[in-house]
Chains A and B, each alone.
Chain A
Amino acid sequence: MKKAYIDNQSFEIVDGETILSFIRRNREKQLVPTLCDAPNLDPFGSCRVCSVEVALSEHGPVKTMASCHTPVAEGQYIYTSTESVKALRKNIIELVLTDHPLDCLTCEVNGNCELQTVAAQVGIRNVRYPNGDNHLSKDKDLSHPYMTSDFSKCINCYRCVRACDEVQGQFVLSMAGRGFDSHIVKGIDQSFMDSDCVSCGACAQACPTSAISDVFQSKSIEATEITRTICTYCGVGCNLDVATKNNEILSITAPYDAEVNQGHTCLKGRYAFKFYNHPERLNAPMIKRNGVFEKVSWDEALDYVASKFQYFKEEFGPDSLAGVSSSRCTNEENYLMQKFFRAVIQTNNIDGCARVCHSPTALGMQRTFGTGAATNSIEDLKHTNCIMVIGANPTDAHPVTGAKLKQFAMKSDHVSIVIDPRRTELAKYATYHLALRPGTNVAVLNMMMYYIISEGYVDAQFVDQRTEGYEAFKKEILNIDLDHLEAVSGVNRKLVKEAALAYASAPNAMSFHGLGVTEHSQGTFTVMQIADLALLTGNIGRPGVGVNPLRGQNNVQGSADMGVQPHQGAGYLDITNENVNKKYNEFYGVSVPQHIGYKIPEMFDAALSGKLKALWIIGEDLVQTDPNTQKVIRALEATDLVIVQELFMTETAKYADVIFPGSSFLEKSGTFTNGERRVQAVRQVVPPVEGTRPDGQIIVDMMNKMGYPQPDYTPEGMLEEISQIVPFFAGIRWDRLGKNGLQWPVAEDGTDTKILHTAEFKRGKGYFEYNPWVETKELTAHSKEYPYILTTNRELEHYNCGAMTRRTANEQILSDDYLLIHPEDADAYFIKEGDYVCLESPRGKVDIKARVTDEVKKGVLSTTFHFPEIMINNLTGDVHDSEAMCPEYKVVAVRIRKSKGKYKEVMK
C-alpha cells in the first residue's frame, strides 16, 4: 500500500491522482481552497490558491506546490495549512481583490461566489495596495436572450474558456491580450449574440463569480429548493437541478454527479423551460361544439369521452378506437395508456411516436440481436478507439452526447467515421466523411461489409461462435455490384474501403445512428446492417463497442418498453403469442385481443376509410410532424372523435373534438428511460398549472370512468405494477432509482446492466441477413418531374414541432425554418441567401428561406419542421420503411424555383 501524509497523518494514495484530489478524498473538501479548479475540467494551475507545502520527510525542507496539478507521490508529507501557505493564499486573494469590484451585497451571486467564500476563508480584511489599473469599468454584455457577462467581475481563472473547450468543444471563448491586460473574449471580441455561442451555459455554470452568468441568475441563492429531475427534451436524459422559490422555477443547472451529463447540458435543458407556465398553456378541458372550443369541467370532459368511447366500442367494436401515446410522457403514463387501450378498450390499436422515428431500430435490432435497444452506454466512449456515426447529427439533436462525440473526434489518435449526406458539425472533425446521396445507406454499408470480408478483416472467432447465417450472407455480399453502388451512393469506393477497414481494425469500435438511418424505405434493413457490421467485426458485448441508436425523444425508449406499439405489449412481449396473451389476460384481468393493431399510418388509412371512429392522442403533433400533412388533416377530420391531450393548442389540437390539458415534466413524477436504457427518476418540481392534471392521472380517471379500477397515479405504485409484467423491470422500484437511475435489464435484486449481449444474444445467436439496396419508390416514381432530393434535419435550438421551444427565448435565437441549398443549385435559380424558395413535391408546396451553403451536396436540399408557419410536411409522402412503417422523411422528391417574391425580406 502506497502512502503519503496529509498534515502528518498517513493515507493511502491512488495512482495518478493529484495532491488536491488526494486531500479532498481523505479530508474535508474545503481544507484547501481553490478558484480555478472545477469538477469537470482538467487541472489548470492558474490561481495557485491551492498551494500546499510538500516535504520528503516529516518536517523536512518544504517546497510550495500547486496541489491541483501536482501528482501525489509515495512518502510525501503534505502540509495544507502552514503559516507560509496561509499567507500565500491570503496574499494572492488580496491581489485578486485589487481588480475586483467590492459590491458583494448587490451582486447576483452574493452568498454563492467562490471568490467571496475563499476570501472569507483566508481571512482578508483589507487590501493594502494603492488604487491601480483595473478592469472595473468593463461593459456588461446583455445582448443574448440567455447568456450574460460582466467582465468587471472576472478573475481570469479560465474556467469558462476551459468549459467551452473541454466540455462543449465550441471554442467561443478565449483569453486575449497578455499579462495584466489579458481578458476573456467571445469570438473576435464580439457579444454573446454575435458570437458562435451555442448557449449551452457551461461557461456560466463554470464561472466562480458572476462574470459570466445567465438571465435566470442561476447562481444566485434566491431559490429555496432544488429538485433533481430529468430533462424532457432528447433521449440523452440529462439530469437537471431545478431551483424554485414559492413554487416558481427560477433556473436550471446540471449536477456534476450526474453519470449521464456530468454537470453539462444544452440550451434546451438548461434554459428552455419557460414554456411551462406560458400564458398559452391549455388550462381547462374543452369540448368543441359547433366548431368552437368550450371550456368544461374535468368531469364533464371525462364523462363525455368515456360515454363516446363506450358507444363506439359497443357499436363498431374495440378496433374502431385507437390511441397515440407520447414519448414525452413518463414510462408509467405510457404503460397506462397502452393498458387503457388493451385492457379497457380491448384493442391493440396503440402506437407512439417511435413509429415515425426509431421503430426500425427496435425491429432491426430485435431481428439481429433479439433486443431493440442500445447495446452499450455513452460512457463507453472512454473505452473506444473508433466511432461510426450514421444518419445522425448529434451536436444539434443530442447536444450533450454530441459534444462528447465531438470531443472524441477532435483527438488525432481516434478514428471517427461519419456517414451522412450533410457535412454536419461532426463530419468536419471526422477522419472519414462518407457524404452519400440520401437513400443509399444500404448501398454504402453493403460496400463496407464487402471490403471487410474481401480484405480479411472479419472477426472469424466471433462470427463462428456467436452468430448464424454468415455463409449465405457472405456469398451475397461478395456478389454485390460495386460499380453500381458506388455510382448511386456517390461515395468513392476507396473512401468506403478505408473507412470500413478503419472500423474493422479498431480494437474497439462503437456505432451510433439516428433518424438518417431509420426514416427511409429501407430503414430496418439499414439497422440490421449496422448490427451486422458489429457482428462481423466482433464489436459486441464489451466496453467501448456496440450498436447505439441515438434515441430521439426523452422517453421514446421507454414508451416502446412499456408496450406502446400495436404488435408487442408491455415488455416487448408478442401479443399474438398464446402464452403471452394468457399472461396479459391474467395480469389485466380482462381478455386482451391477440391480433396486431394499427400502426399510426394505418390509423390514418382506417380513419379515411371510415373504420376509425375515435382517436386519443397524447403529446404528439401529428399534423405538423407526421408526413403528408394534408392527408393527416383529412384523416383527423374523418375521425368522429379526436381527443388531444396537450400543453398547447398545437396544429393537431386545433383538429380535436375534446382537449385534455396535460402537464409538463416539471409538474409530475415518474420515470424516463434514456437512449442507453437508463431508467431515471423524474421528480415533480412544481404543482401542475391550475386546471391541468398529470397525464397519468387523466388516463387513470378515464379508466375509472369506464369502469376499470385503477388506483390514482403515483410513480411508486405504477413501478410496482410494471415490475410485475415487464421482465427487464423486475428489480426497478421508485426508491431504488437514486440519483443516476438503473439501466435495464434490472434483476429482482436491483442489479442493472450497462452492456448487453456480453455472453449471448437475447435471441441466442446474432443473425446475419443480407438485403440488397433498392431505390426508394419516392424517387423511381417522381424524380423525373421532381429532380431534387429534400431531406429533413433538426436544429439545436428547437425540439421537434417546437410547441415547447418556440414558447421560450430559443425562438429569439432561431426564429425560422430555412432551406440548406448548395451554391451551384442556388445560382442556377438565381437564389441568394435569404431569398424565398418555392419547394414543390407531388404532395404540395411551401415557401421557405434559403441558406446557401456547401454543407449539402449539389442536388440535395435540407430543412427542418420546427415551425408551423412553414409546415414542411406538406411535402413529405407516404413512402415508409418496408418493415416498420416508419415514414421516409429523409428522401422527398422536390423541384425548386425562386419564389415570386411573396416575402421579400432579407435574412438576418
Chain B
Amino acid sequence: MSDNLSELLGKKGIGGSLFDKMGKLSREDGGSPSEAQLTALAEEFLVGKANTFGTATFYDFLKPENKGKKVYVCNGSACLCAGTQDTVLESLQQEFKHDEIGHMTCLGRCHENSAFHYQGKNYSGKAIHGLDEIIKSQKNQYQDAYQVRASGAAILTKPFTQIDAYYTPFKKALQASPEAVLEEIKTSNLRGRGGAGFPMGLKLEFCRKAENDTKFVICNADEGDPGAYSDRYLLEARPHSVLFGMLVAGYLVKANYGILYIRAEYPESVTIVQDAIDQLREHGLIGVDIEGSGFNFDIKIIQAQGSYICGEETALINSIEGQRPEVRVRPPYPAQKGLFNKPTVVNNVETLAALHYILEHGGLAWKQIGTEKSSGTKLVSLDSYFNAPGIYEVEMGTPLSTVIYDLGKGFKKEVKALHIGGPLGGIVPLSKIGDLTLDFESFSKEGFLLGHASVVSIPSNFSMMRYIEHLFDFAAYESCGKCFPCRLGTKRGHELTSKALESDYKIDRTLFNDLLSTLEQGSLCAHGGGIPLPIRNALTYFEGELKAYFN
C-alpha cells in the first residue's frame, strides 16, 4: 500500500521481518506487543509508531484486546452449522475466565468440529471432554482423523516416499533449461487453486521476465476459508510437495527467497513444515549453490496472526512486510512489484504441490487429466455432516454427485444446501447437485464458484437467514476496511440481517439488492466483491424461507 513502507521495511530483508518480530513479541508477551515494543520497532525500521501500532491493531492475535487470551474457540462456518460450539464454550468457561477466551475463525477441523485452540495446539472432536487432562498435561491425546482418498489418479495424495528420490525431478530441472521446464508448466494448463484459477505458467513467466536482482516466491498457506482443510492436509501430510513446488517456482522465476505464509490457526502445520525445511537443508536442497547449479534459494516460514484477508495475495504481501494487510490496487501486479516492491509470485499450497507431478510426468500428462479448461486433480474437503468426512482427490470434471454420495457417502443428517468454495463461494441447494461437475467452468456457468472446493453442509434445520447473517458477520469482521463498499457495506448488511432476525424489522428488497450490487461492482477485491454470491444464491433457492424477512 505504501511504497515507502515497503522500501523501509525491506531494508532488513526477509530475515529481519517486522511482522515476524511482532509475532514473536506477541507470543512471548501474552498476546500483544506492548507500546514500548511497538515504539522500539518503529525506531528500528525508521517507520512511524502509527505504522507499528496500525499493523498490530489489525490482527486478531496482535491487537491489544488479545492480551491475556488463553484459549480460542473456533467460530468457522462448519462448526457453526454443526452446532457444537456452545458446548465447547460452556466447557471452556468452567476452566477459563471470560476475558481469557477468544475466537479463531476455522481451525480446519471441519470434519469433526468442537474445535478449539489452546497453547499453540488445536483440538477437536472429543477433545473437549478431556479438557482437564489437556490443561494438566498439555499432551494432545486427541489426534484428529479424517478420510484421505483419491477417486482416480492419486497425485496430490500419493504417499511420500523418501526425500532424495522425491526431489529427483527438481535436480533434473536444475540441469535442464528453465524455459523448457516453464513450457511444461504452461502445457499443463495448471490453474491456481486459491480460487481465482489464473494459469500458473503465465504467472511464473511474468515474474521471470521482470528484471530485478531480488525476487520472491510466496506460498500462500493462509487457508482461511471456513470449511477448507485441504491445504492443512498438504502442509501436514505432504509438506515436501509444497516445498518442492516452491523450489521449482523459485528456480524458474530466478528468486532467491521463498516464504511460506502459514496461518496462526494451523500451529501443527508450522512445526511439520519447519521440520521438512530442515530436512531440505540437511540434504543440501536449499541454501547456496544447490546441487552445484549456481541456484541459491532459501525458505522461511512466516506465521500469520489472524486475519482472513491475508489470503488475498496483495494483503498477504503487505502482511509479510509488516504493513497493514490492506489490499493493494492492481496493476502493478505482484509479479512486477510485490514483496518489498520486488517481483513476487504468490501461489496457493495446492497449486505448488501439483508441480511435482508435472515435472515428473510432463505437462501433457497433467493436461490430460480433468477437463479441457480445468486440468488435473483437485482436493475437496468434506465436513462432518458427511458420513465419510475427509479430503478427496478427484479429477476435474468429476460429477459433484459422485463426490457427495460416492466418496462422502451422503449425509449423516438432513442437509438443505452446501456452501462450496469458502464464504465467498456459492450456496448450492441439494437440487442443483446433479447439474454440477467439479471444475471451474461448471460452477461458474451455474452461478456458483468452485473456489477452494471446500464443502460446508447447511443442515435443514439451520435458518438460512441466520446463515446469511453469519456470512455478513464474517465478511464485516474480516474486511480490511480499505474500500468503502466493503468496509461499510458488509457492516450494514450484517446490521440489516441481524435486525431482521432479532425483531420484526423487514428489509427493503431494493435497498438489499442495491447493497449487494454495490459490494459486487464496487469492491476493491474479491472479499467484498464475492460475498453477494452466496447471498444471492440463498435468495434464489430459499426464497420461501427468506421472504418473511423482507418487504
Residues of A whose CB lies within 8 Å of any CB of B are 35, 42-49, 51, 64, 66, 69, 71, 84, 87-88, 91-92, 95-96, 98-99, 128-130, 132-133, 155-156, 158, 162, 164-166, 169-182, 185-189, 195-196, 407, 410-412, 428-429
* A-B residue pairs in contact (CB < 8 Å), sample of 22: A69-B329, A88-B517, A95-B484, A130-B495, A158-B482, A162-B2, A165-B2, A171-B42, A171-B47, A174-B324, A176-B50, A180-B487, A180-B491, A185-B54, A186-B50, A188-B39, A188-B53, A195-B49, A410-B8, A411-B4, A412-B340, A412-B341
User: Of the candidates A91, A175, A187, which one forms a contact with B517 in the assembled complex, judged by CB atoms under 8 Å apart?
Assistant: A91
Cβ–Cβ contact A179 & B491, under 8 A: yes
A20 to chain B, nearest CB (A): 12
The answer for the CA separation of A466 and B378 in the assembled complex, in Å, is: 69
Q: Inside 8 A of B483's CB, which chain A residues have their CB?
A: 45-48
In this assembly, does B485 line the interface, its C-beta being within 8 Å of a C-beta of chain A?
yes
Total A-B contacts with CB atoms under 8 angstroms apart:
181
The answer for the CA separation of A601 and B54 in the assembled complex, in Å, is: 54
User: Which residue of the partner chain A has the closest CB to B54?
Assistant: A174
Cβ–Cβ contact B481 & A181, under 8 A: yes
Cβ–Cβ contact A178 & B481, under 8 A: yes
User: Which residue of the partner chain A has the closest CB to B477?
Assistant: A179
The answer for the CA separation of A407 and B478 in the assembled complex, in Å, is: 33
Cβ–Cβ contact A169 & B4, under 8 A: yes
Q: Inside 8 A of A130's CB, which chain B residues have their CB?
A: 495-496, 499, 505
Q: Inside 8 A of B309's CB, which chain A residues have their CB?
A: 178
User: Of the candidates A178, A181, A428, which one forms a contact with B46 in the assembled complex, judged by CB atoms under 8 Å apart?
Assistant: A428
Residues of B whose CB lies within 8 Å of any CB of A are 1-5, 7-8, 10-11, 35, 38-39, 42, 46-51, 53-54, 57-58, 63, 307, 309, 324, 326, 329, 331, 340-341, 476-485, 487-492, 495-496, 499, 505, 508, 511, 514-515, 517-518, 521-524
The answer for the CA separation of A413 and B478 in the assembled complex, in Å, is: 35
The answer for the CA separation of A523 and B480 in the assembled complex, in Å, is: 55
Cβ–Cβ contact A187 & B53, under 8 A: yes
Cβ–Cβ contact A51 & B522, under 8 A: yes
Cβ–Cβ contact B54 & A64, under 8 A: no
A69 to chain B, nearest CB (A): 4
Q: Inside 8 A of A179's CB, which chain B residues have their CB?
A: 476-481, 487, 490-491
The answer for the CA separation of A155 and B488 in the assembled complex, in Å, is: 10
User: Of the candidates A46, A158, A174, A189, which one forms a contact with B48 in the assembled complex, judged by CB atoms under 8 Å apart?
Assistant: A174
The answer for the CA separation of A132 and B472 in the assembled complex, in Å, is: 15
Cβ–Cβ contact B38 & A71, under 8 A: no
The answer for the CA separation of A64 and B517 in the assembled complex, in Å, is: 11
Cβ–Cβ contact A172 & B48, under 8 A: yes
User: Which residue of the partner chain A has the closest CB to B331?
Assistant: A71
Given contacts A175-B324, A189-B53, whether A129 and B496 have CB atoms under 8 Å apart is yes
Q: Of B42, B481, B489, B514, which is in contact with the most chain A CB atoms at under 10 Å from its CB?
A: B481
User: Which residue of the partner chain A has the closest CB to B480?
Assistant: A178
B378 to chain A, nearest CB (A): 27
User: Which residue of the partner chain A has the closest CB to B57?
Assistant: A176
The answer for the CA separation of A177 and B58 in the assembled complex, in Å, is: 5
Q: Inside 8 A of A46's CB, which chain B residues have their CB?
A: 482-484, 524
The answer for the CA separation of A156 and B489 in the assembled complex, in Å, is: 14
The answer for the CA separation of A187 and B50 in the assembled complex, in Å, is: 4
User: Which residue of the partner chain A has the closest CB to B342?
Assistant: A412
Cβ–Cβ contact A92 & B522, under 8 A: yes
Cβ–Cβ contact A156 & B484, under 8 A: yes
Cβ–Cβ contact A128 & B10, under 8 A: no
Given contacts A171-B47, A188-B49, whether A177 and B57 have CB atoms under 8 Å apart is yes
User: Of the candidates B50, B326, B490, which one forms a contact with A188 in the assembled complex, judged by CB atoms under 8 Å apart?
Assistant: B50
User: Of the candidates B48, B329, B488, B523, which one forms a contact with A187 in the assembled complex, judged by CB atoms under 8 Å apart?
Assistant: B48
Q: Inside 8 A of B46's CB, which chain A residues have their CB?
A: 410, 428-429
Cβ–Cβ contact B517 & A128, under 8 A: no
The answer for the CA separation of A169 and B2 in the assembled complex, in Å, is: 11
Q: Inside 8 A of A98's CB, which chain B residues have their CB?
A: 488, 492
Given contacts A99-B488, A132-B491, whether A171 and B515 have CB atoms under 8 Å apart is no
Cβ–Cβ contact B484 & A47, under 8 A: yes
User: Of the candidates B54, B479, B481, B518, which one forms a contact with A88 in the assembled complex, judged by CB atoms under 8 Å apart?
Assistant: B518
Q: Inside 8 A of A45's CB, which chain B residues have their CB?
A: 329, 482-483, 524
A91 to chain B, nearest CB (A): 4
Cβ–Cβ contact A412 & B48, under 8 A: no
Cβ–Cβ contact B496 & A171, under 8 A: no
Given contacts A130-B496, A174-B48, whether A182 and B481 have CB atoms under 8 Å apart is yes
Q: Of B48, B480, B505, which is in contact with the most chain A CB atoms at under 10 Å from its CB?
A: B48
Cβ–Cβ contact A180 & B481, under 8 A: yes
User: Which residue of the partner chain A has the closest CB to B307?
Assistant: A178
